Amino acid sequence: MSGQSLLVPGEITPVRSVPGNIRRPEYVGKPAPTPYTGPEVQDTDTVERMRIAGRIAAQAMEEAAKHIAPGVTTDQLDKVAHDFMVDHGAYPSTLGYRGFPKSLCTSLNEVICHGIPDSTVLRDGDIVNLDVTAYINGVHGDNNATYLCGDVDEESRLLVERTRESLNRAIKAVRPGRQISVIGRVIESYAKRFGYGVVRDFTGHGINTSFHSGLIIPHYDSPHATTVMQPGMTFTIEPMLTLGTHEYDLWEDGWTVVTKDRKRTAQFEHTLVVTETGAEILTLP
C-alpha cells in the first residue's frame, strides 16, 4: 500500500457566493432540512427535472476532475465545481446543508466521505473522491467518483476499479418487485472476494425534491432493508469499500469521516430511477 502520510485538516476559505437569482434549497440558512413527507415514487415531470440536475452534477464533477493533479488544492477543485454549477443555473446542494461550508466533498485516501475542501494539496499517489450534488428546478442530482492523482500504487488502483465495479453490479440488480436489500447483498458479496471492508454507517438514500428523503439504501446485506422497489422510485447507490475495517472515526470538524485503521477507501455513486425493467442512471454527463 502507498506510504503516504496521513491527512490533517487544512485551512478553509470563505463561503463562495451564489447569485441571488438561483433558487436555494429550503434548508439553506437553517440548522437542518425540513423532514421529507412526500412519496418515494416520483412522477415523470419530477424525474425529467432530476435528469437535468443529475446531468449538471455529473458535468460539474467531470470538470473538477480535469484539475486533479499533484500540487492542486482541494479548495481549487471546489471552486471549479461551484463555478460550473452556478454558471448553469444550479445551486450546489452541499453548500449550507446542515452547515457544510463548501460546494462539494473532497475525500482523499483514508477519508471515507464528507471531506471538506480546504488548503490541502494533492500529492502524487493520492486517490481523490469528488462528491457533487446539484439543485435546480426544485430537485437534486447526486453523484461521486474516485480518481487517481499521478502515479497510484497497484493496491489502491485496484480498490478504485473494484469499487466502481461494485456500483455497476448493484445497479444491474435493481428491479421492480425486489427488496432494497438485494443492492447491498450484491455489493458485499463482491467486496468479500477481495477482503475489502464495506462501510455500513453511511448509505445511499432517497433523493428527489429532498436531498435525503429518509429512504435508506444499505451497501451490505441488511435484513432490515425490506422496502420493495417500484417503478419511479429515485435513490442513490454509493458503495464505500475499504482496504481494512469498515469502522471509522470522525474529525473534530464534525464532517470528515476516516477509516479507523487509516487504510484507504474508495467510493462511487449514481442517482437512479427504477424503471419497469431495471434502473436508469440520472447522473450521466
Query: Which letter does DSSP use for residue 90 in this model?
Result: -
Give the pLDDT confidence of 147-183 residue by residue, as tens digits: 999 999 999 999 999 999 999 999 999 999 999 999 9
**What digits encode the pLDDT tens for the residues 186-241?**
999 999 999 999 999 999 999 999 999 999 999 999 999 999 999 999 999 999 99
Sign of CA dihedral 103, 214, 99, 118: negative
C-alpha to C-alpha distance for 134 and 50, rounded to whole angstroms? 9
* Residues 103-119: b if buried by 16+ CB within 10 A, e if exposed: bbbbbbbbbbbbbbbbe
Quote the Cα angle for 132-136-137, to 5°: 155
With a cut of 60, say whether residue 1 has pLDDT above it. no
Q: Which of 80, 48, 46, 82 is nearest to 65 (CA)?
A: 80
The overall pTM is greater than 0.85:
yes
Residue 270: all three cell numbers together: 449514481
- List, as one string, the DSSP characters of 110-166: TEEE-PPP-SPBP-TT-EEEEEEEEEETTEEEEEEEEEE-SS--HHHHHHHHHHHHH
The x, y and z cell numbers of residue 177, run together, are 418487485
Look up residue 67 and give its three cell numbers.
484539475
Three cell numbers, residue 157: 488502483
39-82 tens-digit pLDDT: 999 999 999 999 999 999 999 999 999 999 999 999 999 999 99
Share in percent of the chain as helix, strand, coil (round to 5): 25, 25, 50
Under DSSP, the state recorded for 282 is: S
Q: Summarize pLDDT for 73-131 with one digit per residue, the tens.
A: 999 999 999 999 999 999 999 999 999 999 999 999 999 999 999 999 999 999 999 99
Percentage of the chain modeled with pLDDT above 70? 99
Grid cell digits, residue 30: 437553517
